């Protein structure tokens, strides 16, 4: 049992509290808004901080622009505690802390998890499950400090990834800050559009603009703190956009379609590199499509036989149309298993499609 | 009962066939690839076209650049049939048809439904449910032609929206073609990125780039046919992007944060204008998340027990993080099954998350 203090009762703080309390740790919470702390406590994320509490590990979960100040404050207030944070920018915070206090007890952190909704009531104990959680430890850190934080993160179900603060800021500009900005820019085009036009929107527009619903306050702080890395990526994006616009202006002229195709193709290749996407598994995994009758028990029968063949399924997806006569199960397996699996399933009477 | 011919056994043609067959109509299919037509027929989308078939309504579901030619061919081949199409661009096709044949029997159409995956096996009878289906009828159309198409579309669960071909092309540039292009541009930034950086990706990147997995062949045709409208929107997007880049370059100077905030705020307002998910899985089905150990046989064990509980799985998805010890299986079931399934699985020792 570790005594944990969560500072900041928003989405991340509340989720950490919920997750660690569920694992039997002692969690207390504080927030500059006492009603926010009380709400998170009511929600089950821990007790409101009492004056005699002496935390071993402190998670600073306040907005990015308050994070450095809060880290310093709690390092000083609890001179034995290990302090970590969850802010989406790391280099500027690390520097701000190290220039003002001894940061031997501070392990910079950033869980790659979130939702477009914020606040305690959006908190969930499984928010971090199977998500990367970046830590940026340094040589100045005292021995044992890192292990204490890592162990709690593992209990939240996340996977620790270690990198330098500057590598972090560059990587998140690419995978998080720029997609967020582009989503906002895309959604901004709708702000003055006709409702009848927007009513035609499909899943594509919804998915590409979903995160544009996120809090401007939070993102303003992130962009301010990581503007260099974000702008470098945004300018590379703009260069591609310029190429597309030039090509579309020249449609019908030689080379224009090839230029458009180059971008679409790079998009295909880029999306295929994202882990956890079924399309991406084409490189790593072999895809096998099995037709099943659309009734209870068929999936169990199928996966039993797959298990009996000694094959682990890496990814799967069920295609299931209410009035189709069959369902399609897409299995992604390591390439070496593909051929024996297809043969084994066909021997047992399963229909393989595609 | 209407005799319907579907020309083109890809995603849309197969889905139309599945949906109309389920409603009791007589559906025949044809495709320039006879194996594609045979696959769609196996899948339950209709019979392969026979020489004596005399269709009343024909849906042309071939790639955009072949659509005008195919419309003309089938108008001539079946001189009594009403012909509609599903191409994502309308003005250029309407013009190409009208300049070459009498188009009194042709009703231009475009269902606002699709998936990033194509082909017959991605087809689903419910693809069009609660989706807009644009029709661009004209004064030249014979009385009764429109009603025949509208009635079939209603049976597929879609809502007919009538507009001119040019209004269509402008609106879909905004809500479909430009989001698609921006998603491709965003995903293209990942094509040369480090795998370790991309491994940090969360749901935001996945959602914003999902449609970038779509077929370049299809989208190349769409962009070529609607380049003017697409480029007008892309240039407006670029103007906003330029403003953001200038503001980020000036971070710290007066007015820079306000300029960034203006874009984030417009993004908030834009996304708020998108109508909610209609007929989405989230509404039809209840979502249950089960944690499983990442080893062979676990899925079989899970689905056996789900089958033993008498529950049919409507949709499922496996979340599978390379470094996590556990996987998350998302099951979507009819609401009435959700509570007994959770209880039953928990009784058998399964861990339910969220």
Using pLDDT thresholds of 50, 70 and 90, give the confidence band for residue B325: low
Rg (CA), chain B: 24
Using pLDDT thresholds of 50, 70 and 90, give the confidence band for residue A326: low
> pLDDT exceeding 70 applies to what percent of chain B?
94
**ipTM of the assembly?**
0.78
The whole-number pLDDT of residue A313 equals: 82
CB contact under 8 A, A324 and B227: no
Using pLDDT thresholds of 50, 70 and 90, give the confidence band for residue A316: confident
pLDDT, tens only, A328-351: 788 888 888 999 999 999 999 998
Nearest CB among A187, A257, A265 relative to B271 is that of A187
A–B interface: beta-carbon pairs under 8 A: 453
pLDDT, tens only, A23-71: 999 999 999 999 899 988 988 899 999 999 999 999 999 999 999 999 9
pLDDT, tens only, B337-353: 999 999 999 999 998 87
Q: Are B83 and A316 in contact (CB under 8 A)?
A: no
Give, for B106, the enclosing helix (H) or strand (E).
Answer: strand B106-107
How far, in Å, CA of B147 to CA of A30, rounded? Answer: 64
The whole-number pLDDT of residue A304 equals: 85
- HSE-CB for A302 with a 13 A CA cutoff: 28
How many helices (H) and strands (E) chain B has is answered by: 15, 13
Nearest residue on chain A to B260, alpha-carbon basis: A220
How far, in Å, CA of A140 to CA of A103, rounded? Answer: 7
Task: Name the DSSP class of B222.
Answer: H
B165: its two tokens: 């071909």
Please determine, for residue B277, whether its predicted confidence score (pLDDT) is greater than 60. no
Beta bridge partners of A289: A330, A353
> pLDDT exceeding 90 applies to what percent of chain B?
68
Which of B327, B295, B296 lies closest to A308 in space, CA to CA?
Answer: B296
Please determine, for residue A322, whether its predicted confidence score (pLDDT) is greater than 60. no
Nearest residue on chain A to B236, alpha-carbon basis: A189
A-chain CB neighbours of B44 within 8 Å are 323-326
Nearest residue on chain A to B313, alpha-carbon basis: A296
Q: Are A256 and B220 in contact (CB under 8 A)?
A: no
Beta bridge partners of A4: A27, A57
The whole-number pLDDT of residue B280 equals: 40
Cα dist. B30→B7, B48, B88, B269 in Å? 5, 6, 20, 45
What are the start-end ranges of the H helices in chain A?
11-22, 34-42, 64-77, 91-98, 145-155, 165-172, 178-188, 195-198, 203-209, 216-225, 227-249, 256-272, 281-284, 298-308, 335-347
Nearest residue on chain A to B250, alpha-carbon basis: A227
How far, in Å, CA of B260 to CA of B198, rounded? Answer: 26
Average pLDDT estimate for A124-132 = 86
> Which of A11, A185, A254 to mutate to probe the B interface, most B CBs <10 Å?
A185
The whole-number pLDDT of residue A187 equals: 97
> Which of B273, B316, B329, B352 to mutate to probe the A interface, most A CBs <10 Å?
B273
Give, for B345, the enclosing helix (H) or strand (E).
Answer: helix B335-347
Return the SS3 of A6: strand
Return the SS3 of A80: coil
pLDDT, tens only, B50-73: 999 999 999 999 999 999 999 999
CB contact under 8 A, B175 and A161: no
How far, in Å, CA of A233 to CA of B3, rounded? Answer: 54
pLDDT, tens only, B125-145: 888 887 889 999 998 899 899
- HSE-CB for A91 with a 13 A CA cutoff: 17
How far, in Å, CA of B340 to CA of A224, rounded? Answer: 49
How far, in Å, CA of B297 to CA of A59, rounded? Answer: 38
B319: its two tokens: 């979340």
pLDDT, tens only, A253-290: 999 999 999 999 999 999 989 876 433 344 567 888 88
Please determine, for residue A308, whether its predicted confidence score (pLDDT) is greater than 50. yes
Average pLDDT estimate for B316-321 = 66
Nearest CB among B195, B270, B306 relative to A188 is that of B270
Average pLDDT estimate for B27-55 = 94
Using pLDDT thresholds of 50, 70 and 90, give the confidence band for residue A198: very high
B-chain CB neighbours of A194 within 8 Å are 171
Higher per-residue pLDDT: B83 or B215: B83
**DSSP β-ladder status, A132-135 and A109-111:** antiparallel
Nearest CB among A212, A313, A322 relative to B271 is that of A212
* pLDDT, averaged across chain B: 90
Return the SS3 of B141: coil
Average pLDDT estimate for B144-155 = 95
Nearest CB among A198, A257, A326 relative to B274 is that of A198
The whole-number pLDDT of residue A325 equals: 57
How close does chain A come to B72, measured CA to CA in Å? 23
């Amino acid at each position: 049992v570790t005594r944990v203090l969560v500072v900041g009762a928003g989405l991340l703080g509340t989720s950490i509290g919920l997750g660690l309390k569920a694992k039997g740790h002692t969690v207390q919470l504080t927030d500059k808004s006492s009603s926010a702390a009380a709400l998170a406590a009511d929600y089950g994320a821990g007790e409101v901080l009492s004056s005699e509490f002496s935390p071993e590990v402190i998670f600073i979960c306040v907005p990015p622009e308050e994070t450095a100040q809060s880290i310093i404050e709690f390092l000083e207030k609890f001179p034995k505690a290990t302090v970590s944070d969850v802010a989406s920018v790391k280099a500027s915070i690390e520097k701000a802390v190290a220039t003002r206090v001894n940061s031997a007890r501070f392990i910079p952190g950033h869980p790659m998890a979130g939702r477009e909704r914020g606040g305690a009531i959006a908190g969930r104990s499984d928010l971090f499950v199977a998500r990367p959680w970046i830590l940026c430890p340094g040589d100045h850190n005292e021995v044992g400090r890192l292990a204490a934080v890592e162990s709690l993160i593992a209990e939240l179900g996340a996977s620790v990834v270690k990198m330098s603060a500057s590598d972090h800021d560059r990587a998140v500009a690419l995978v998080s800050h720029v997609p967020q900005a582009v989503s906002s820019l895309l959604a901004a085009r709708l702000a003055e559009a006709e409702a009848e036009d927007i009513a035609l929107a499909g899943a594509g527009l919804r998915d590409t603009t979903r995160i544009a619903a996120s809090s401007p306050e939070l993102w303003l702080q992130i962009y301010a703190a990581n503007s260099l890395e974000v702008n470098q990526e945004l300018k590379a994006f703009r260069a591609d956009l310029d190429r597309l616009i030039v090509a579309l202006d020249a449609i019908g002229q030689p080379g224009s379609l090839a230029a458009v195709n180059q971008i679409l193709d790079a998009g295909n290749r880029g999306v295929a590199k994202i882990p956890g996407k079924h399309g991406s598994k084409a490189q790593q995994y072999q895809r096998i499509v099995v037709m099943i009758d659309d009734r209870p028990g068929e999936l169990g029968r199928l996966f039993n036989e797959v298990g009996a063949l000694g094959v682990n399924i890496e990814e799967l997806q069920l295609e299931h149309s209410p009035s189709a006569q069959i369902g399609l199960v897409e299995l992604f397996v390591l390439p070496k298993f593909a051929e024996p699996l297809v043969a084994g399933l066909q021997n047992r009477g399963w229909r393989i499609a595609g």
